[in-house]
Amino acid sequence: MKLAGQSAIITGGGRDIGLAVALKLAEEGASVAINYFSSSAGADEAVAKITGNGGKAFALQGDLTKQADVDALVDKTVAEFGGVNVLVNNAGGLIERKKIAEMSDDLWDTIMDVNLTSTFRVTRAALAHMKTGAIVNLASQAARDGGGPGAVAYATSKGAVMTMTRGLAKELGPDIRVNALCPGMIDTDFHNVHTPEAGRRGFEAAAPMKRQGNTDDTANLVLFLACDDSAFITGTNIDINGGMLFS
């Protein structure tokens, strides 16, 4: 039990990577607070599975671009679990593929709010209750290579998450470690929506690992960064892309 007695907040925990992370951290003993925006079914199923196995968990709907919803998530976590030890900033999205020349101010602001400002707000709120622990952010391979067509705004927001990770590591050490993942092609609804099937098959053919990643691959890395197995690692942005990009 690598996280026994600890509490964790996972944003965007109702599906895909966030859901896998919530289940993985709970398996290792963490009490888990699951934020979700629209994926209530997955969040509720996760809570039922965790509590059915004797763990502690709750799910709370919230729009993390709104400070009131951020505060409600952190306050409920502290009230139920006594504090915050691990924060996983997973919530985010591409929203829409759009070239910069065609992008409205509103779409730009939305992408920044969903991916970057929400990470800032949740982190700020959680830090009021974190004396020690770990923060794990979800960046993206797009932050390394600029993203695919129509993803400049998304790539920019995730690049800022990488920089925030480095800065926070210096600001919060030695008591709180801060690291990030840069996932590539992970088999999730994100790519079901935004990546053509031919692109996914092409990835599998070209990747050294000859497959897409899965959510357990990512959750295992989050667990490593959240627990003491990575006790001397902070400020890193770790690639997890099957060998398609070496940084």
Q: Would you list the domain boundaries of the chain?
A: 7-239
Class in CATH terms, 7-239 = alpha beta
- Decide: 99 and 150 in contact? Cβ < 8 Å: yes
Give the sheet arrangement for strand 31-36, strand by strand.
57-61, 31-36, 7-10, 86-89, 133-138, 176-183, 237-240
The Cα 90–Cα 201 span in angstroms is 26
36 is catalytic: no
**Helix 215-226 and helix 16-27: axis angle, to 10°?**
50
Q: Which CA distances in Å does 30 have to 78, 87, 228?
A: 14, 11, 13
pLDDT confidence of residue 204: 82
Residue ranges, the chain, pLDDT below 50: none
The Cα 63–Cα 72 span in angstroms is 10
Q: Which CA distances in Å does 34 have to 122, 195, 205?
A: 13, 27, 35
pLDDT confidence of residue 141: 96
Phi, psi of 59, rounded to the nearest 5 degrees: -120, 140
Beta bridge partners of 239: 182
pLDDT confidence of residue 191: 57
pLDDT confidence of residue 192: 62
pLDDT confidence of residue 190: 63
**Active-site residue identified among 81, 154, 190, 203:** 154
* pTM of the shown model: 0.95
Q: What is the DSSP letter of 213?
A: B
- Decide: 207 and 244 in contact? Cβ < 8 Å: yes
pLDDT digits (tens, 9 = 90+) for 7-59: 999 999 999 999 999 999 999 999 999 999 999 999 999 999 999 999 999 99
